Each structure stands twice: as C-alpha cells, then as structure tokens.
A and B are shown apart, each in its own frame.
Chain A
Amino acid sequence: MGNPIGNTLQRGWEVLTRRIDSMLFGAALAIVCVGLVTLFSASDESVARVTNQALSFAFAIALMWLFANIPPQTLARGAVPLYVVAVALLVAVALFGVVVNGSRRWLNLGLARFQPSELMKVALPMMLAWYFQKFEGRIGWRDFAFAGLLIAVPVYLIKRQPDLGTALLIGASGFYVLYLAGLSWRVIAGLLLLAAAVGPVVWTHLHDYQRARILTFIDPSRDPLGAGYHSMQASIALGSGGIVGKGWLNGTQTHLDFLPERHTDFIFAVFGEEFGLIGNAVLLLLYLLLIGRAMVITANASTMFARLIAGAITLMFFTYAFVNMAMVSGLLPVVGVPLPLVSYGGTALISLFIGLGILMSVHAHRKLVIS
C-alpha cells in the first residue's frame, strides 16, 4: 500500500476500469475472439486481414472507454444537434453525394468518404429518447405522431439513396424507442395489421427481380446459378458441419470457394461449418449473455433518456445478430446485414463498441437513490 508507484498504477487502473462493465465487456471480447478465429479461416489464413480487424478492435475499445465515461445526460444534450446534423448530412448526400457503385450514400470529406446513414443509426434513437425524456409524464398521442415524423424523415432519405436495408434497420431502431416509451399495444397491432394488408399491394408493385428474390428465398433450387446460390451453399455449409463441426480451417465449403461473402455477411456459415452445432450453441449463449446483461442495465437505468437509449441499443444488437443468423441459416431472405462483432469490417465494429460504451455509461451513472 505504501508503494507510490504501486499506488499510481492502482489509481490509473481504477480510472481505466471503473466505468467498464466486466460482464458486458467479457461477453463482447469472447465474441470478437470467435470472430477473429473464424476470420482467419474465412480469409484463407490471411494474417493481414486478421491484423487489420484486430487494429479496428483496439480502436473500438478506446472509443468504448471514451463513451463509457460520458454521463448519459451529457449525451442527451447532444441529441438534438446530432440529429439535425445527421439529417442535414443526409440531405447533403442527396444533393452532392458521391456515387459509389450506383448508390448515392457517401459524402466526400476530402480526406475520407463518410456515410451519414451510419451516424443516423446513433442519432435517431438518441433524438427520440431525448424527446420522450423532455415530455416525460405527459406523453400523448401527439408526441408519438411527432416521433413518427422524426423517424420517417431519415428513413425516407436513406431509402431513396437507395439503401432499403439500412432504411428498414433505422426505422426499426426508432420503432424500438416508441415501443419502450409506451406506444399503445392497439397502435402496434394496428401497424402490424396495416403491414399485413399492404403486403399484397406491395407485392404487385415490386420489380420482377425483387419478386424473383423472394420466390428464390422460398425455393432456393429455383435459381442455382443466381440468387439462390448463396442461400443454398450456406445451408450446405451449416448442415454438413454436424454436431461437432469439421474442425478449424477444415471447412470444405469455405476452402473450396463455395461460400460467397464469407468474411463479411456469411461468416457465420464458416463458423457453423467448422464448429458445428456445439459451436453455434456457444455463440448463441454468448450473445444471450451480452443481450441479457444489457437488458439488466436498461431496466436499472435512472432516467427516461438512459432507459430508452440503452433499450434501443440492446434491441438493435439483438436485431442484427438475429437477422444475420436467420439469413445464413435460410430463415430470412438474403439481406446485407453483418453479424455483430464477428463479420469483417471496421466501421460496424466501432459503432457496436460505441453502443456498448453508452450502455456501460448508463450503468455506471445510475443514481443509487432508493436505498
């Protein structure tokens, strides 16, 4: 105790770790490790690629730490400006965006290109959480209608980029906040009914190729060279993995090039082929641990803003994981959603860890009042 160097080190360690939630971080770390191990196999043992991802991971942890140390009320103050800036950037994209691969999604910032829809993923739930906190206790239908408008604007702007997948995900994040803020079950049921009623109408308005994509989802053998290919090869990879899997680096589907996009959207097929049902069960449990812990943090959050933002982050995390695994195992049509913390890609990893940082901050800054 008397050792000054020891004390300094101890204090430093305390500053570093006091806001870090060990269970949340432990689960995330385990999932990232699973990702790196799988990535090594999926990239044909490319050390460069794994290193690259590990560097993104290091950077992501630093940002997580930073956000864990920002009190939720400070974040709440930034919500409105962030939302306004994000909408303005989306408008700027529509007006002067850079067209990459035929879609106008990027802004050129001289040094780098930037995709404002990424920012909106954080900005929209924050804005809604701020709004409901401000009118806490007297939230009426008008507020929900206005919140609906706050959701509709960015969703529309992103949809016309065109990037329907991201638009739907951002719409979902907004919906989660409304749900947690107490949107009436009757309205939710009404929305579901409306969606069911609109479905057939939408179907008749779809392009032939979009319809073909959905039909291919129902019966992948319909188009073995085309869209059904990914889905079919992923099912073969998972199914042939069996209970214990083929072993690390031994997946034939992976190494004979049958799996497409195998370090990004389809990395789960690689994992499932090489580690089998047992591996999948472990990964599911890790995700459940992470989501469960996040829910406990959400339930104990002290303010409306903290509660709603934590809830939205938690449910979005779940949504990404579920949609990706359901897509790879053939339960959902092929959509471009990466597997959180596992798929290759620095931006997604960083956003996810910022989300975890916010959760940790919510937990660390809960007021210990009623005691």
Chain B
Amino acid sequence: MPRRLLFSSRRNRNGGNGFGAPELRNPERELHRFRRRLSVAAVLVGLAFAGLFARFFYLQVIQHAHFETRAETNRIAIVPIPPNRGVITDRNGVVLAQSYSGYSLEITPSQVGNLDRTIDELSKVVDIDGRDRKRFHKLMEESKDFETLPLRTRLSDEEVARFAVNRYRFPGVEIKARLFRQYPFGAIASHVLGYIGRINDKDVERIASWDQAANYKGTDTIGKAGVELSYERDLHGTTGVEDVEVDANGRAVRTLKRTPPIAGDNLRLSLDIGLQQVAEAAFGDRRGALVAIDPTNGDVLAFVSKPGFDPNLFVDGIDSASWQDLNESPDKPLLDRPLRGAYPPGSTIKPYLALAALHSGKRTPSQTIFDPGYFQIPGQSHKFRDDKPGGHGVVDMYKALVVSCDTYFYTLASETDIDDTARFLSKFGFGQKTGIDIEGELTGVLPSRAWKRQRFAGKNYPDDARKWYLGDSVSAGIGQGYNAFTPIQLAHAIAMLANDGIGYTPHLVKSVQDTRTGAITAIASEPSSRLDVRPDQLALVKSALVGVAKEGTSAAVFKDAKYVSAGKTGTAQVFSLKGEKYSEHRVDERLRDHAWYEAYAPADHPKIAVAVLVENGGFGAEAAAPIARKVFDFYLLGEAAPGAAQVTPLTPGDEGD
C-alpha cells in the first residue's frame, strides 16, 4: 500500500456525502476520505498537546515563583476535628444513643505488605477475634486501599499500652482516638433510633447535596436509618479545624490555630422508653408492630417493630455473617413494620365506615338489618360469610360494631359507592403517608375505581381486571380485598377519632437542643387535619367502641381495668380459603390471620391511642388486645410508680457480643 496516500491532499467532495443518498462503492475514495478524517483528528491531537504544553509552561515557568512560595508556605496542614454527635434521649431524659471517645486499632492496607501475617502478629499483642477479622475484610472490599480502616475498636488502656511498646514492629498500623456511638438499650426501639454506619459513595453525594462536604471531613460515620438518618443534619454538629505546622517529614510540630468543633444537637424524643419496653416485652417472640400516640398532640409514645435488631452491631461496620443473619431471616428484623408493613386492616376499618355511613346519611343509628350469617349479592350465589355461623340476628349500628358483625357492613358496602368511601376514609389519612418524621413510610392502598384502573393498567392484564366490581366493594366493606394500611396509619386514625376528629402529624422527636446555647426548640404540634362530622355521630361511634371493650369482642381482655377504654378488634386474612371454614390449627403458621387491635383510653379524655398488629397472631381479641391492655395499664396506672425504676439499659461494653 503506497505510503504517500497518508495525509494526502487530493481534492474530493466534502466528507459529508455519507449522509443522505446512498453512494456508489468506491473503496479508494472512501479510504481517502477516511484518511482525511484521520488527518483532522491528528491536527486536533497536536493542538490539544500544544495547549497542554502551553499550560505547563504557564504554571511552571511564568507562575513558577508564585507557586514556589505557595509550596514553601504549604507547611501548614489543616486537620479536621470531628464533632461529638448529639445525644438522643427519651421524653423523660433517659439516654437512648450517645457517643463516647475511645481508642481503635487502625490499619492502612496500602502501607502493609502481608496483611494476614500482620493481623496474626497483631493478635498476639491485642485481642482480635474472628469477627473483627471478618468485619475488617468486609470493610476492605468496600473501600479504597489507601484509606485507614479500623481492625479493633474500644481498646482497653492496657491494650493501648501494649501496642505502643510494639508499635515499631507494625508500620501502617496505628492507634487512633475516635468517637463511638453506643445504644444502651440494644434492640429496644431499634427501628426508632436506627443506626449509624460508615459513609459510602451515596452518602458522599448526599453530603455534597447539602453543601456539607467540608463539614464532614474527619467524620467517617453517618446516620443510616431511623432518627439517626432523618435528623442527621441536627445530630452531626460542626467540624472544628486545627492548623498544624508540619516538619519536613510531615509530622505535626505545633498547633497554630484551633477552632473547636461544635457538638451536634441533642434530640429529645416523644417516646417513653419505659412504655416501649413494656410494649416490646408484651409481644414476646411474636412478630408485629405497635404504635402508641398521644392523641392530643401527635407525640409517638411507643413505636414497636418486632423483631428488632441490635443497632450497636452496625456502628463499627457489621460483619457479613451478622448482616446475612439479619437480612435473610424469614422474620425480617430489618423491616420497619409500622411504616413499611402494609396489612389488610380487617374489622378495624369498621368504625370509620360506620362514621362515613352516618355522615352521608346512608344509615341512621337505629336502622337495623337481619343477619342470617352471610350476605349475598342479589342474583349471585357466592356467600360472603360472617364469622358467626348462625348470624347475629337483628343488628343496629351499635351492635354491629360491638360484635363486629360482617353482614351489616357487607350490606352497607354493597349500597355505597367505593369512591365516596375512599374520599371519606382519606380524611383519616388512609392511603397516604402520615408524615411522621422518620423516612421510609409507605402509602398503603386505599382502593377506589381510579386506583384499580391504575394498578392493573399493564398490558398483560385483561380489561376486566381494571373494572370495579360490586364484590370488590363488599370485601372492602370489612377491610379485606385491596385495602392495605400501615400500623402508623391506623394509629394515626384511631388517635384522630379519639381526639374528636382533630388529627396531628405523628412525630418522634419532641425537641431539639442546641448544645452551644442550650436553647431548646420544640417541634411544633399544630393540628394537621380536622374532620367535619356531627358531634352526635362521632359520639355514637365512640360509644360503640367503648361497648367493644365493655361487652363486645375485647371485653374479656379489659375485664377489671381501672379505666374505661374504647377499641376495636380486627382479624385480617393473609390467605384466602375460598369458602372453606377457617381453622387455626389446620393452617400453616405463616398463613394464619394477622391480629389487630386499635384502641384509646381513657374513653372520656383520651391520653393514649394505640394500634397493635400481631403477624399471624390469629384472632385480634386474643393476640393483639392483651398487648394494648398492658400498654394502657403501664401508661395510665404505672405513672404513679417511678417509671425510671423499670428502665434498665445495658451497661456500656456489654452489648455488641
């Protein structure tokens, strides 16, 4: 191939003729065009490199003197001093999360030749167990190798001294003073507090989006869940700066200037840790959720998600075995059930449907139906069954709520338009986020025609699937069908009912304290929603709920209570038996019904409202109502007894093993 063709300058048409009309095959011309394109690129490459050289010339010759002085004076290293993270306490000042300083043994992998041998040698000086090793290897995988990574944390003074003597043997290994987060109550309230963990790339972007990159220099952990995540910016504080003069070897010689860090804000939660402990204990080994709210201001008094996890495991980076246990357990301990568990509400929806019927005039309190034990849509054979085989006989609204008569509500639902129902229920916050001050809340499902159309909009669904059927309404009438609510939604709704239709956005943090000035900023609790119903209609529903606890489905549980409470049981089907009779013993544990109880007390002047869910607990009155009773007993009666006596945190150093 003749070399002279390279960078040839033979005239040709513009190279753009490839665009548009197809052209004749002409290899030589094409080759020629290609070479001209290449020549243009070569010229650009030359220009770009000339530009680079010009820039180097500018920096290294013209500006040389300037930069030389900069480099000379560049003997001052700016060292960040991370701030102390804010303390989290419960409403009574009991500490739930705190930071303390301690020593950790850290390795810079890039400066260590044989890592495994170094760790083996180190383990002769300082205790290093298998979990430390595993955790360290996981950290290695997740970070760049010039980073300094902790191998062992919380060294004892003796270990620090022993390492100091042997230090010369371990280049690339050092002892650092660090701040550690500690959660004295372990797994109690773990989903409220969340946890902190090492900063990853996504966190770095988050920090950058707050324009806080400089403020996080020297900080290596960040809130990852719960209050620790949602209030990260309050808790973190302001990083201090030390200007240190360094010698030719880069060692600090003296401190020139020091701006101390400002510790993060302290948070006081609305949570009562004593109540929280009682509530968690009441669940025993069962899975479920509980949210207790002060109906007069939206304070979340207890927030249970069972099972929980020990947040202390995450603080220094969790080892992969523990992570796998948590992540893959069928009990889903990492699932924040009150916010992210959407369950069919079952009969707990009935008080709101009754109120809707009164409000719209579909029912009067005295209007009755006859319940033969089932309901049929006229012209259809399918029987929607009541849980009492023979039926409840003649039933008015009061009785329908007290005995939880399904047929009454089947009938009501069959006469009510689902969109009207959805519109009324949405005023209680169903199907929406409640706006609680921690992240991750689900909206749940409040079914309507529009919802169903959208849910089944996909092409693989037949047109029929998008249509709303009367049967859908009938199932929804007892809280089955498409309904799915989160426990926080139900707690918010029952609190709103208890407070005569005035709702508050639930919140976990009650006040924020600036650690520098000591000023305390309370989180405002203004009513967030107001229900527009007649007082006598509200009073009827509320009296029926008192009836439930006095003579109805939960009467046995609340016998002899020293206060009057109001509530409603619920049992939500997990699994449809297609007309067969449900028998608890014949159904696999995980397919058993979920048990619900929503309640408030005292009935005339509610101080606490609660929603309890026991997963696969069976009948609501048996599984869930007793938990509500224990919570009420403690909160309403145990107040006289010193609550603090019941508060038993783990001693520091005890947890995490």
**A interacts with B:** yes
Chain A residues at the B interface, C-beta cutoff of 8 Å: 43-44, 46, 48-49, 100-103, 136-141, 144, 179-187, 207-209, 212-213, 223, 225-227, 233, 235-243, 252-253, 255-258, 263, 272, 276-277, 280-281, 284, 287-288, 291-292, 295-296, 298-300, 302, 304, 307, 311, 315, 318, 322, 325-326, 329-331, 366-371
A239 touches B37 (CB 8 A): no
**Residue among B71, B205, B211 with most chain A CB within 10 A:** B71
Which single member of A182, A257, A277 contacts B56 (CB below 8 Å)? A277
The answer, yes or no, to whether B256 is at the interface (CB within 8 Å) is no
A329 contacts B74, C-beta separation under 8 Å: no
B381 surroundings in chain A (CB, below 8 A): none
Count of A-B residue pairs with CB < 8 Å: 212
A-binding segment of B18-26, B323-331, B418-426, B600-608: B18-26
- Given A180-B34, A236-B67, A315-B41, also A329-B23 (CB < 8 A): no
Does B142 sit at the interface, judged by CB under 8 A?
yes
Q: Does B42 touch A at the CB level, under 8 Å?
A: yes
**Which of B2, B30, B34, B74 is close to A370, meaning CB atoms less than 8 Å apart?**
B2
Known: A242-B61, A325-B52. A140 touches B20 (CB 8 A): yes
In the bound complex, what is the Cα–Cα distance between A101 and B200 (angstroms)?
Answer: 5
Name 22 A/B residue pairs within 8 A (Cβ), A-sorted: A101-B201, A102-B204, A138-B25, A180-B41, A185-B14, A185-B15, A227-B213, A236-B71, A238-B56, A240-B64, A253-B71, A255-B250, A258-B77, A276-B60, A284-B49, A284-B52, A296-B6, A299-B5, A307-B34, A318-B45, A367-B1, A371-B1
Contact A183 to B19, CB < 8 A, known contacts A46-B111, A239-B70, A299-B38: yes
Cβ contact of A180, chosen from B27, B37, B78, cutoff 8 A:
B37
- Taking residues whose C-beta sits less than 8 angstroms from the other chain, chain B's interface range is 35 or more
Within the assembled complex, what's the spacing in Å between the Cα atoms of A288 and B46? 8
Q: Is B257 an interface residue (CB 8 A)?
A: no
Once bound together, how far apart are the Cα atoms of A68 and B200, in whole Å? 41
Known: A102-B202, A144-B19. A240 touches B67 (CB 8 A): yes
Nearest opposing residue in chain B for A100, CB measure: B142
- Identify whether the interface residues of B are mostly helix, strand, loop, or mixed: helix
A263–B37 Cα distance when bound, in Å, is 36
Chain A nearest CB, measured from B48 CB (Å)? 5
Contacting residues, chain A, for B75 (C-beta < 8 A):
256
What are the interface flags for B242-271 relative to A under an 8 Å C-beta threshold, 1 for contact and 0 otherwise?
000010101000000000000000000000
The answer for the CA separation of A146 and B209 in the assembled complex, in Å, is 37
For B248, what are the chain A residues with a Cβ–Cβ distance below 8 Å?
252, 256
Question: Is the CB of B59 closer than 8 A to any CB of chain A?
Answer: yes
Known: A208-B211, A272-B60. A184 touches B68 (CB 8 A): no
Confirm or deny: B176 has a beta carbon within 8 angstroms of a beta carbon on chain A: no
Are B26's CB and A137's CB within 8 A? yes
Binary contact track B231-243/A, C-beta < 8 Å → 1, others 0: 0000000000100
Contact of B209 among A207, A238, A253, A287 (CB under 8 A): A207
Complex-state Cα separation, A213 to B19, whole angstroms? 39
**Assuming the A-B contacts A209-B205, A277-B57, A302-B1, are A182 and B34 also in contact, with contact meaning beta carbons closer than 8 angstroms in the complex?**
yes
Residue in chain B with minimal CB distance to A246: B71
Report if B377 contacts A (CB, 8 A).
Answer: no
Are A183 and B1 in touch, CB under 8 angstroms? no
7 more CB-based (< 8 A) A-B contacts, given A235-B67, A288-B46, A295-B42 = A136-B30, A242-B64, A252-B71, A277-B57, A291-B45, A299-B7, A322-B49
Q: Does B55 contact A (CB under 8 A)?
A: yes
B399 at the interface (CB under 8 A from A): no
Query: Is B532 in contact with chain A by the CB < 8 A criterion?
Result: no
Cα(A147)–Cα(B402), bound, Å:
70
Tell yes or no: B113 within 8 A of A by CB: yes
Contact indicator A212/B211 (Cβ below 8 Å)? yes
